[in-house]
Chains A and B, each alone.
Chain A
């Protein structure tokens, strides 16, 4: 059974940093691209970014809203995904989901399994 469990959320002041983790199990983690998606309270989904797999040199993509502030990384030996968030703003307050991305034919891989999310609150 595919499982994704996020951790590391909490309260942080504006300008601060936080590192989220996502522990994966039930599938071959190293084969998959992995995504972070967030959802601010009462609003819709926002794609944060992606890390590709080793075959694609672990390259990353980011949304414009977080580029230069957030860094996505992974440790295939630990089946773990990370999101380093720096220079946090109040508008970064959201539930952060990690998601497994899988190829379903042409086009980019898409998120087919999601964790339950971890809440990040940026407030003074």
Chain B
């Protein structure tokens, strides 16, 4: 299953609302997770089951979607949110990641 993220990069300002999309090549129900990765660091789990926030993750992050189309939204971008975001499907093997979306400071 291929996952296509868009955009591949974006520039935004602190306080902006940011939306990242992830499209699966076939239906994956809600078996999708989102990760955040900062330079030189390991990825950090943000959302699982397409919509459920991992414990400790700020409520400005939210996920939506099912089937083939998913979104990750940051309601009010904070300085610590500048990072690369990846979706991953957990519907079937081999598990796959999207290509990533880099969120940069405008």
Residues on A close to B: CB < 8 A? Answer: 35, 37, 44-47, 49-50, 61-64, 97, 104-112, 114-117
Point out which of B35, B43, B48, B95 has the most chain A C-beta atoms below 10 A from its C-beta: B95
Given A50-B95, A61-B93, A110 contacting B48 (CB threshold 8 A): yes
Q: How far is the CB of B101 from chain A (nearest CB, A)?
A: 10
Given A107-B29, A110-B33, A46 contacting B90 (CB threshold 8 A): no
Sample of 16 more A-B contacts, CB < 8 Å, known A62-B94, A108-B91: A44-B98, A45-B35, A45-B97, A47-B88, A50-B93, A50-B95, A104-B49, A104-B52, A105-B52, A106-B49, A107-B30, A107-B90, A108-B31, A111-B88, A114-B44, A116-B41
Q: Dominant SS at the B interface?
A: loop
Q: How far is the CB of B22 from chain A (nearest CB, A)?
A: 12
Residue in contact with A45 in the complex, picked from B54, B86, B91, B94, CB distance below 8 Å: B86
Leading 8 A-B pairs by shortest Cβ distance: A107-B31, A114-B42, A108-B90, A107-B90, A44-B100, A45-B97, A47-B95, A61-B93
State whether the Cβ of B96 lies closer than 8 Å to any Cβ in chain A: yes
Point out which of A35, A46, A47 has the most chain B C-beta atoms below 10 A from its C-beta: A47
- Chain B residues with Cβ below 8 Å from A47 are 88, 94-97
- Chain A residues with Cβ below 8 Å from B33 are 110
Bound-complex Cα distance A109 to B45 (A): 12
Are B100 and A110 in contact (CB-based, < 8 A)?
no
Q: How far is the CB of B40 from chain A (nearest CB, A)?
A: 9
Bound-complex Cα distance A4 to B28 (A): 29
- Chain A residues with Cβ below 8 Å from B29 are 106-107
Bound-complex Cα distance A109 to B90 (A): 7
Given A44-B86, A44-B100, A111 contacting B45 (CB threshold 8 A): yes
Bound-complex Cα distance A63 to B97 (A): 12
- 29 A-B pairs with CB atoms under 8 Å apart are A37-B43, A44-B97, A44-B98, A44-B99, A44-B100, A45-B86, A45-B88, A45-B97, A47-B94, A47-B97, A50-B93, A50-B95, A61-B93, A62-B94, A97-B43, A105-B52, A106-B31, A107-B90, A108-B91, A108-B92, A110-B45, A110-B48, A110-B90, A111-B45, A112-B45, A114-B44, A115-B42, A116-B42, A117-B42
